[in-house]
Amino acid sequence: MLKNASRHFSRAALFSALALSTASAFAGSSQADFRPRLDKIETSWKAQDADAVASVYSKDAIVTGQDSPDAAKGRAAVSAKVKELMAGARSTKISIYDTQVLSDRSALTWVTWDVEPKDSQEKPFSTKSLFVWKKVGNEWLIVADMYALGPMSAK
């Protein structure tokens, strides 16, 4: 009986150690990992460089949202969609609402885009997105982006 208890304890200790090491690997990813990628979108948007914005998306990314009947599939289509959206937007500021790390190579973030229109007669507005991220090599890329009007609510 003592031998069985010892074996169960050893298995439990092993599973606990594996769980802790896995959790610590996932804990290595946080909002700080995604902030530089979002900064690149903001800087590129201000420069009106749709291709640079699209470079934060994977080559097979899908982007769609409210009032968009067709999804943009692939980096070239994402760039075209961004160019279309840039036509009316001077700049954007992206704030992370929440981050959930799903594994050491996948995560999601809920964000709010605060958009400054090009037309000074228009009021600034907000949209929200759910980004699904995949780590490719050492770089986080957006593989899916679903957006809708309005900001994320306050926490």
Radius of gyration of the chain measured on its C-alpha atoms: 20
Domain edges within the chain: 29-149
Q: What is this structure's pTM?
A: 0.80
Record the tokens describing residue 103, joined without a space.
Answer: 């594994």
Banded pLDDT at 4 (limits 50, 70, 90): very low
Rounded distance, CA 145 to CA 133, Å? 9
Residue at token pair 């507005």: 125
Average pLDDT over residues 66-77: 94
pLDDT above 50: residue 11: no
Secondary structure of residue 53 in the 3-state scheme: helix
Instruction: Give me the CATH topology for the region 29-149.
Output: Nuclear Transport Factor 2; Chain: A, (3.10.450)
